[in-house]
Amino acid sequence: MDFSLDDQQRLLIDTVRRFIAEELAPLEDDVERTGRLDPVLAGAIFRKSKALGLYAMNMPAELGGGGLSALATMLVEEQFGHTTDILIRRAFGNVYEVLLACQGPQRERWLLPAVQGARTCSIAITEPGAGSDTAGITTRAVRDGGRWRLTGQKHFTSDGLFSDFFVVSAKTDDSRAITLFLVDKSLPGVTIGRDQPMMGLRGTSHVELAFDDVRLDPDTLLGGERNGMRLILETLGRVRLAQVAARAVGKASRVLALATDYAKERRQFGKAIGEFQLIQQMIADSVIEINAARYMVLRAAWEIDRGNDARDWISMVKVQASETLGRVVDRAVQIFGGLGYCKDLPIERYYRDARIYRIFDGTSEVHRGLVARAALNKGPALFDIGP
């Protein structure tokens, strides 16, 4: 077991950290105030990041991506957690690994433009009537000769306003099997509905989508008919580890750094509040929990890099990291007192942004259910150190 970072990892972290501090952090307040990222600025951060090789780092190098291992991806994603969702999306890309299932001409049409940042993709799985129950969807794709006709509704599609195409889940029969389709936004019958207002994540859109008898050509089928659940389980797990767990660790670290600085500066009763033991307990608990979550993230990434099935690990880490973030931001608000609740400082924004981590990409309850089921079925293999 070697916990040290090598030179390349250190350089990577340093480069991303500097890019966020110099290029993205200065934009955060404006995005928060206006609720949008100026498209000119979005283009500028995209070009700068791409020139530094920081775009689509999770994707294979032979496709033009960064070719990072899962472990290196998590190190970078932790840094991403230091800034806001929309700035990460525009600067570094949010290229979903499910697109690696593209075959033949699909690669030119959807995969490569996504890796290059020429076209943006969102994932449209959740429906008003089906969230945790991914297979409970009613969106239908019906064969029409060699083509498909897609009808249904989705909601909460992140980045939907900006995206050029969607990975959409649909049923092709009455079973619980689901199938994924690549759906261009410009197709007749595709309607972008409301941008659903959210508690946090200002600047990122989360839209309703309607598909009204949308004609799809045969090439739009992603990964084979009735194979959607397998693809989702295989590829979105890594997204969950990266975009939720690793970023939660980064966000928690950032908030704790602000809270510890404040605890050193803020004086009451003639001393820095950091000298009060009750404040120290909040700081200590946050330090301990952040480190526990971080090492769980890295361990899960290590499993992925060895080609092991990391799904149980990812469920565990998703719960641990997102709930750690929730506790850390809550303590930070407390340490900042009234200023923690006031919009003059970013703490209240972190507090709002953090709340979704326990809900999206599978709620804490759903992942706890998966962990419990795995423990009951696999026994000590899941929680003992092994031989």
Q: Which is nearer to ligand FAD, 53 or 369 (CB)?
A: 369
Q: Which is nearer to ligand FAD, 359 or 382 (CB)?
A: 359
How would you label 261-297 residue by residue, b for 16+ Cβ within 10 Å and e otherwise? ebbeebeeeeeebbeeeebeebbeebeebbeebbebb
State in angstroms the smallest separation of the CB of 239 from ligand FAD: 10
State in angstroms the smallest separation of the CB of 365 from ligand FAD: 3
Q: Are 76 and 131 in contact (CB under 8 A)?
A: no
Q: Are 162 and 93 in contact (CB under 8 A)?
A: no
Residue 204 sits at φ, ψ, to 5 deg, of: -90, 135
Q: Which stretch binds ligand FAD (CB under 6 A): 18-26, 54-62, 198-206, 215-223?
A: 198-206
Q: Which is nearer to ligand FAD, 144 or 365 (CB)?
A: 365
Binding ligand FAD (rule: CB under 6 A), the pick from 210, 345, 359, 371 is 359
Q: Are 171 and 139 in contact (CB under 8 A)?
A: yes
Q: Which is nearer to ligand FAD, 256 or 319 (CB)?
A: 319
Interface with ligand FAD includes 302 (CB under 6 A)?
A: no
Q: Are 139 and 170 in contact (CB under 8 A)?
A: yes
Interface with ligand FAD includes 138 (CB under 6 A)?
A: no
Q: Are 171 and 219 in contact (CB under 8 A)?
A: no
Q: Which is nearer to ligand FAD, 135 or 356 (CB)?
A: 356
State in angstroms the smallest separation of the CB of 124 from ligand FAD: 6
Looking at residue 67, the DSSP 8-state letter turns out to be -
State in angstroms the smallest separation of the CB of 3 from ligand FAD: 33
Q: Name residue 149's beta-bridge partners.
A: 142, 215
Residues written for the chain: 387
State in angstroms the smallest separation of the CB of 243 from ligand FAD: 10
Q: Which stretch binds ligand FAD (CB under 6 A): 44-52, 103-111, 141-149, 365-373?
A: 365-373
End-to-end CA distance of the chain: 15
Q: Are 58 and 66 in contact (CB under 8 A)?
A: yes
Interface with ligand FAD includes 65 (CB under 6 A)?
A: no
Interface with ligand FAD includes 365 (CB under 6 A)?
A: yes
Q: Which is nearer to ligand FAD, 18 or 373 (CB)?
A: 373
The distance of Cα 45 from the centroid of its chain, to the nearest Å, equals: 19
Interface with ligand FAD includes 125 (CB under 6 A)?
A: yes
The footprint of ligand FAD on residues 155-184 (CB under 6 A) is 156-158
Count residues binding ligand FAD (CB under 6 A).
22
Interface with ligand FAD includes 132 (CB under 6 A)?
A: yes
Enter the tokens of residue 182.
Answer: 């690549």
Q: Which is nearer to ligand FAD, 93 or 274 (CB)?
A: 93
- Pick the closest to residue 249 from 291, 196, 205, 303 (CA basis): 291
State in angstroms the smallest separation of the CB of 386 from ligand FAD: 29
Q: Which is nearer to ligand FAD, 81 or 274 (CB)?
A: 81
Residue 169 sits at φ, ψ, to 5 deg, of: -90, 140
Question: Which amino acid, one-letter code, is at 11?
Answer: L
Enter the tokens of residue 123.
Answer: 């994932």
Helix (H, G, I), strand (E, B) or coil at 95: coil
Per-residue contact flags (x/-) with ligand FAD for residues 103 to 122, judged by CB under 6 A? -------------------x
Q: Are 125 and 169 in contact (CB under 8 A)?
A: yes
Interface with ligand FAD includes 206 (CB under 6 A)?
A: yes
Residue numbers of the site for ligand FAD (CB under 6 A)? 122-126, 131-132, 156-158, 198, 201, 206, 356, 359-363, 365-366, 369
